[in-house]
C-alpha cells in the first residue's frame, strides 16, 4: 500500500497548525493525532475487543498486560453503572491458535454480567462488525457513540474502530486501554501510535480512560 503524505514546509514553526488541521508540528515532527483531555460527550456503549486470556496472561501476553487489565476493569464498571451497553468481542481463532474456541486462551479475561445490555459477540475476522450482529445490536439499543478498547492495536482494535466509523458511530479511543506486540524493530508503543495515526482524525483520541464517561442510550437507564 502506498500512503500519500503531505509535505510540511520548513517555515512551519513549533506548535503551528499542520496541513490537515488535525494536528500540529513541533520540532520538525508532525503530530497527527492530538488527544483530548476529555471526550466531547459521554459514550453510550463500551466495546471490549479480544480481552482474552491468550493475550493477557502467560509468557506470550501483550506488554503491560496486568496494567491494561487493571485499567479496563474500572472502565467496564463505569459503563455498567451508567447503564451503557457493554459488548465483549471474543475472537474465534483457527484450530491450533492460542484463542481457538474451547481452549483456555479463548476465555474472556474480564467477567461478564450477561444481560440485555451486556453481551458476548463472537467474531472470526479483525473487524467486530464483519459478519456479526454487532451493528444490529447497537442499533437496537439506539447507540450512537462507542468507546473501543482492547487488543491488538493495529489489528482488531483498529479494524473494529473503522467498522464503527463506517457504521456511522462516534468513536472514542483511549490511548491507555489498547496495546499490541512489537513489530520487528518497532516497540509496541510505536506500533500502537501508528495504528492510531492510520485511523485519521475521525475518532476522538483521549490519553486516559479515566477521563471517559458513559451514559445510557437515549438518556434512559
Q: How far apart are CA 132 and CA 97, in angstroms?
A: 21
Cβ(119)–Cβ(87) under 8 Å? Answer: yes
Task: For residue 172, give the C-alpha cell.
Answer: 472514542
Cβ(43)–Cβ(215) under 8 Å? Answer: yes
Pairing of strands 170-174, 145-151: parallel
Burial 91-113 (b: 16+ CB within 10 A, else e): bebeeeebbbeeeebbebbbeee
Distances (CA, A) of 169 to 13, 54, 135, 162, 205: 35, 29, 10, 10, 14
Contacting residues for 139 by C-beta, under 8 A, at least 6 apart: none
| Catalytically active residues, by annotation | 156
Amino acid at each position: 500500500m502506498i500512503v500519500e503524505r503531505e509535505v510540511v514546509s520548513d517555515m512551519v514553526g513549533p506548535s503551528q497548525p499542520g496541513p490537515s488541521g488535525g494536528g500540529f508540528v513541533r520540532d520538525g515532527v508532525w503530530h497527527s493525532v492530538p488527544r483530548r483531555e476529555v471526550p466531547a460527550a459521554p459514550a453510550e456503549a463500551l466495546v471490549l475487543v479480544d480481552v482474552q486470556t491468550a493475550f493477557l496472561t502467560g509468557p506470550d501476553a501483550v506488554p503491560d498486560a496486568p496494567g491494561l487489565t487493571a485499567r479496563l476493569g474500572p472502565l467496564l464498571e463505569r459503563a455498567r453503572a451508567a447503564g451503557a451497553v457493554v459488548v465483549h468481542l471474543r475472537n474465534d481463532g483457527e484450530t491450533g491458535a492460542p484463542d481457538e474456541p474451547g481452549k483456555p486462551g479463548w476465555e474472556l479475561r474480564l467477567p461478564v454480567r450477561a444481560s440485555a445490555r451486556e453481551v458476548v459477540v463472537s467474531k472470526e475476522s479483525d473487524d467486530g462488525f464483519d459478519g456479526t450482529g454487532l451493528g444490529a445490536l447497537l442499533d437496537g439499543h439506539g447507540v450512537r457513540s462507542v468507546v473501543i478498547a482492547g487488543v491488538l492495536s493495529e489489528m482488531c482494535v483498529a479494524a473494529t474502530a473503522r467498522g464503527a466509523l463506517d457504521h456511522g458511530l462516534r468513536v472514542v479511543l483511549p490511548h491507555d486501554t489498547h496495546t499490541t506486540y512489537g513489530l520487528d524493530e518497532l516497540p509496541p508503543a510505536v506500533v500502537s501510535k501508528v495504528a492510531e495515526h492510520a485511523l485519521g482524525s475521525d475518532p476522538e483520541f483521549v490519553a486516559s480512560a479515566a477521563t471517559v464517561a458513559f451514559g445510557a442510550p437515549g438518556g434512559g437507564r
